[in-house]
Every structure is written in C-alpha cells, then in structure tokens.
Chains A and B, each alone.
Chain A
Amino acid sequence: MSTFKKAMSNLANAVQDLSKLDVITFEGSVTLEGSDPELVRFSDVMAKAKGNTAVKVKVLASTQTSIDGDIVAFYDTNITEAQRLAHADLVQAGAESRKATIDFVKSIVGDIADL
C-alpha cells in the first residue's frame, strides 16, 4: 500500500505552477457509464463530449485569477443566478485548495531548511 507516498508525490507535482487559477463552468448533459469516476479525467470527458455532435456543451462562466490579483471573468448572457453562484463557489474552492497547499509547502520548506 503506497497511498500516502502517491499523494505526497502528487502534491509535489501540484505546486509546479500556482501563479494563476482557472475556473471554468460548462453546461451540458454528460453521463459517465461503467467507469470508476476516480479513474476518469475531466479532459477525456470533454474531449468525448466535443466529439459527439448530439452533446451540446457550452461555457457558462470562466474566471482566471492571477497571483498578482488580476481577474479576468467571462459570463454567458443567459447564465442563471444559481449557476453564477455555483461558479463563484468553485472559484472560492480553487482559491482555498491553492492557499492550503501554499501554506503547507511553506511550513515544510521552513522545517527542511532548519535541519
């Protein structure tokens, strides 16, 4: 069993580029069939969706936040209030994940430097 080792390795990779945060909310109907969701990649889902003319997927909202505070946001004119709030919540989730990771890295780098 190497779950912790794998997680720590993923974490090490995660901090390669934390300078900007992208959050994109799509609208579309997609069903995951048969696969273990933990093994599926969102990029694969979107690639199959785009390749299927019966599936209509569009971008509802997109937000890019830079580490220097610049924000570029796009909203579809027909976005509902519930969808807009969901997107905002997701931006918050991304920011929290990133902050937790940065704080964690700061703490361990400090400990290593001290050894």
Chain B
Amino acid sequence: MADSAADFLAQFGMGLDAAVNERHLPNPVMAVSNPNQTDSAAYIRAVRARLIELGYLAEGDKRVNRSNHTLDPILVKKIKQLQQEAGIEVDGWAGPETWQVLECLVSFENQQQPADWQQVWAKPLAQLIPAVGMPNLALLRGIYCRLYSMGFFSDWAQHRIHTKTILLPQDNPAFALAIARFAQFARRLGLLSTASLTLTEPLVHALYQHDAIVVKLADAALFAQVTHEFQHNIEAISRIELWLLGYDITPGQDQTEWERLRAKRSARPRRQLSKTTLAISRFYQDNSSEALHAKPHSNTVDAQLMAAFAVLTHEPSKDIYLGKQLNNTVQSILSHKQHKKEFQNQFARLANGIFDGLKRVIRWLFRAVKQLQQFTTEFIANLARYISRKARKFYIGVVKAIDIVHAGTSYLRNSVYQFSQPANLLFSHDHDFDQYCLLSPSATPAQIQHHLVQYRFRVKLYAASLNIISHLMRMAHRVLKTVTTPFGWLLALLALADFANSAKAIKQQLDSIADYQLSIDIKQALFQAHIS
C-alpha cells in the first residue's frame, strides 16, 4: 500500500480512537458498571436537559447543570426516579425505552398523538390518566411543564417546576388552575368538547397536539375570539414555535436583550428589546414566500404569524432538503451576514438540546464552517432540527455500527478462533487472509457446519466494518474538501446530500446483519429487541 494511504489509515484510526475516548462516538465495547457509559456525551447532556425540564434535577447546581455530561450517581438516581414514576423498568439506564418516554413527556414535535403512546410506553392513556385513582407521576410532570411553557400558570418565576413541586392538582391550586385555564382555551379553539375543567384524557390529547393548536390559531376568526383573554398564552405558544424553528429564543417567559447599535457612541441610549419581537422579525426575513408576504406584517404575535407557523407544521418532502431548498439557502447565505458568536451560542444550545447521532456529522461541518466569515444561524439551526429528527432513528444505528467496526476490525488480529470447548475445529488466517483450519477427526458434520457458520459471520462482520469505515471516510473527505477550497461553504451545503446517502448506505449495511447482537453482556442486548 502506498505510504500516503497507510498514513491516512493510521490517522483515521487515531481519529476514531480519539472520538471514542472523548465520547463523541459511543463505545459499546466498554466494560460497564454504569450502563450509561455506552452513551455519548451529547446524549447524556440531552437526557440531563430533559430531567431538568421535568424537575427531576435542580438546575443551578454545578454538578447537574445542562452542560455537564458526566455520569454521576445523582444522574443515575434521577433516571431511576423517572423510570419508577413512569412505571417502566427501573435500571438506571437511559436507553431507548426511557428516551422514548422522555420524548412523550417533553417533545413538542414528536409524539403528538397520546393515543399512540401505548406503542412506546406499553400503557394506554386510560391507565396513565385513570378516571379513578392517581395519575401517572411522570406524565403529571410532563403536563405541568407543558402548561408552564404555554403560560397557563400565573407567575413564571414562582411556578417553575423544581424537585419539590407538588404534582397532584388536588394538592396544588396553581396547577389545578392552569389545567382549568387550558381547558377553557382548548374549548374555545374547538379542541375540547367536554365541559370538565379537570385533568382528563381528552384534555391531555388537546394539550399534546401542538400542531393542531397552531393550526387553530391560524384561523383569523378563532384568533380574534381568543386573543383578548389568552394573548399571553398565544405569545408563549409562538415562542415555542420560534424555538422549534431554531431561532434564538427559549420556551417560557419572554426575555430581552440589549439592542445592537451600529455606532459605538450613539445619540440615543440603547434599548432592551423583546427576544420574541426580534425572533419574529428574523422569521419574516427568512420566510419570504408569497403566502407570508401577501399583506404587510408587524413583528407581533397575530393571526398572520400563526398562519405562517401553520404552513410550516406540515412535514416537507425530504427532497426539498436535498435540492431546491439547499440551492435557495445557499443564495441567501452568500448575501446575509451573522455574528459568529451568536451562531456559536445558538449551535451550542441546539447541540445540548437535540439528539445525537448524525449530529456528529454537523459537528464536523461546524468546525469547517467556523473558519469562514459568512454563515447563517437560522439555516444551521433548521438543518440541525431536520438532522435531529433523522438522528434519533440513526442513534441506535451508530451504536451498532461502531460495535460492528470494533468486532469486524478485531478480525485483523489474526487470532485463532474456536467456538467450543474443547475445540473440534480451529480457524485462523494470515495478515494477507490466507485461511487455515484444523479439524478434529471426531468432528461431526453438524459440528463442522455450526463452527463454519460462526466463523463466516466474523468474516461478514469484517466486510461490513470496512464498508462502514469507507462511508465514514467519504463523509470526512467531503468535510476536508470544504476547508481547503475557496468555495468550502458552498461545498459543505451540497455535501449534505452525500451525507444522507452515506448514512443510508451504512443503515443498509446494518440492516443486512439483522441477527447481530451487541457484544456486551448486559441489558444493552435489549437495544436489539426494542429497535427491531
């Protein structure tokens, strides 16, 4: 092999080792006393953020803040508390089942049909919100958080959820009042037909169908009916929408920031501006379709804004991201300048909040992008949101892919393989893949066949691991090119289509090894069952 290729391989191997050691890639081969050790740092941060949102962890303590990706006993204890309250297996591992429960509780985008939660939670909604008896505690936290984010509590500071929040509505008047207020709001929008102002199954359905709420508010007549009494809540809902779209805003109470003035010394003092107003302004700048600009618009929360949101609630065809929208966005990027620090903060905020997996690809892209002068925060944010939806599906694939690469490249150790004790057959190969086999005279045809199948599986894993590595290299190669050419930014955008294709190829490779079990001797094997 040419020296350059051998050097490249060595550097690539070092890069993969470093990525695993720094926990940017998962390490399923690692011996586990804490099963969460197989998870990457970004995933742990995402789990931690959700536990803070639900009041399991107290924000503000250095040990438990959102940027902490360590696996401390407190985190494991709180995962167990969530599992216990949710009524799922209590093992302290934030695996697929726990993550999907968290998705049901806190996600505004996904799991909008509580009737479908049974597929995830293994419990129908009627059991989670029984007509008689205590509701599920974890679900109560989710409902509390959602009502808080939508502004149905009377005081933002006083009623923010924390570890000592009383969760039963009958014991917490503020919670009961928030439920009643939402019930009135949902009835006025036509999303709730019952007269009850208490926690019921239909109310939970109405609360979690976020897109349906936005669509209702897009109706100018309905908007006019509810805006006087619920303007505060509609503004909170619009902040949720802007946050979902990747703007510099967070759900909950509105925040302000100091105005940026062009001149260092200005005749007038700087003002504090509402972040909601700023985000709406940027939203209209970015979404310049004919439908949105049919009428003059203000930078306030009104029916026109909600109508614009409603248009975006429809899932676009994925082709848009691979073709037309990318080209359009490239044009807007080349003519639009953003502050680098704002972009880094925004991206870091998103990176902490969304699922990992393909997001690692975006990290590579980010390293290339931050060297350039021109960028757009909103595009990267929207892109990250799109990737994050796919990344959730790919995360388990990434864990499996890394494990296959480990197992497959171990084939290169040229070891002696035996699949029984005592061994009736021994297999081995040289560094250039010359094959050797030693058969015992007493080996039966069935034994020979059984051992051969296992050895051939090792060979299959080896071929699969090389295939996966070559696709990863292809992705890295495209990113390298972006840094070294004048039109790097342009190439980076166009390379995204290739990333999707490579990721798809890796997934197909994984699917072809359907009977592969992660080679760790604990409940991670459940991954296979859950994902299958």
Question: Which A residues have a C-beta under 8 Å from some C-beta of B?
Answer: 1-18, 21-32, 37-42, 45-46, 57, 60, 80-83, 85-87, 89-91, 93-94, 96-101, 103-105, 107-109, 111-112, 114-115
Given contacts A1-B21, A111-B473, contact A7 B441 (CB under 8 A): no
Interface secondary structure of A, over-half rule = helix
Also in contact, A8 and B435, with CB within 8 A (given A37-B418, A41-B416, A104-B470): no
**What is the total of A-B residue contacts with beta carbons within 8 Å?**
211
Task: Kindly list chain B residues whose C-beta atoms are within 8 Å of the C-beta of A109.
Answer: 2, 5
Alpha-carbon separation in the docked complex, A100 to B473 (Å) = 15
- Known contacts A107-B473, A112-B8; decide if A94 and B433 are in contact (CB<8 Å): yes
Known: A11-B409, A25-B437. 10 other contacts (CB 8 A): A2-B14, A3-B29, A3-B410, A5-B10, A10-B409, A12-B5, A31-B423, A42-B414, A42-B428, A86-B452
- Answer whether A39 and B415 are a contact pair too, CB < 8 Å, given A32-B423, A115-B477, A115-B480: yes
CB neighbours (8 Å) of B462 from chain A are 97, 100
Contact A83 B448 (CB under 8 A): yes
**A113 CB to nearest chain B CB (Å):** 9
Closest chain B residue to A39, Cβ basis: B415
- Nearest to B440 among chain A residues (CB) is A29
For residue B417, CB closer than 8 A to chain A, the reply is yes
A to B CB contacts below 8 Å, 19 in the list: A2-B14, A4-B17, A5-B17, A7-B13, A12-B6, A15-B432, A21-B432, A21-B433, A30-B426, A32-B416, A45-B438, A82-B444, A83-B439, A86-B452, A90-B435, A94-B429, A101-B433, A104-B469, A111-B477
Is there an interface contact between A24 and B436, defined as CB atoms closer than 8 Å?
yes
Q: Mark B6-47, 1 if CB is under 8 A from A, else 0.
A: 101110111011001100000001000000000000000000
Given A108-B470, A115-B480, check contact A25 B14 (CB 8 Å): no
Known: A1-B20, A32-B426, A112-B4. A96 touches B452 (CB 8 A): no
Q: Tell me, in angstroms, the Cα distance from A85 to B452 when the chains sit together.
A: 10
Given the complex, which residues of A lie within 8 Å of B406, measured CB to CB?
3
Q: B459: which A residues are within 8 A, CB to CB?
A: 93, 96-97
Q: Which of A10, A41, A83: most chain B Cβ within 10 A?
A: A10
Q: Say which residue of A45, A86, A100 sits within 8 Å of B463 (CB atoms).
A: A100
Contact assessment for B412 and A5 in the assembled complex, using a CB-CB cutoff below 8 Å:
no
Asked, given contacts A2-B14, A12-B9, A103-B466, whether A89 binds B21 with beta carbons under 8 Å apart, the answer is no
CB distance from A31 to the nearest CB of B (A): 5
Q: Is the CB of B416 within 8 A of A105?
A: no
List of A residues within 8 angstroms of B441 by Cβ? 27-29
**Pair B440/A98 contact, Cβ less than 8 Å:** no
- Assess whether A107 is in contact with B470, with CB atoms less than 8 Å apart: yes
**B366 beta carbon closer than 8 Å to chain A:** no
**Residues of chain B lying within 8 A (CB to CB) of residue A26:** 436-439
How far in angstroms is the closest Cβ of chain B from A97?
A: 4
The residue from A16, A91, A104 contacting B432, defined by CB atoms under 8 A apart: A16
CA distance A7 to B427 in the complex (A): 19
Does B269 interact with chain A (Cβ within 8 Å)?
no
Assess whether B374 is interfacial by the CB under 8 Å rule: no
Residues in chain A near residue B439, CB distance under 8 A: 25-28, 60, 83, 86
Task: Answer whether residue B264 sits at the interface, using C-beta atoms and an 8 A cutoff.
Answer: no
The answer to whether A115 and B484 touch (CB under 8 A), given A32-B418, A93-B455, A105-B5, is yes
Q: Which residues of the partner chain A approach B432 to less than 8 Å between Cβ atoms?
A: 14-18, 21, 98
Q: Are the CB atoms of B435 and A91 closer together than 8 Å?
A: yes
Instruction: Write out, one digit per residue, whether chain B residues 446-470 have a CB within 8 A of any chain A CB (1) or not (0).
Output: 0011001001100110110011011
The closest CB in chain B to the CB of A89 belongs to: B452
Give CA–CA (A61, B415) in the complex, Å.
Answer: 21
Asked if B412 contacts A29 (CB within 8 A), the reply is no
B262, CB-defined interface residue at 8 Å = no
- Bound complex: CA of A89 vs CA of B491, how far in Å? 45
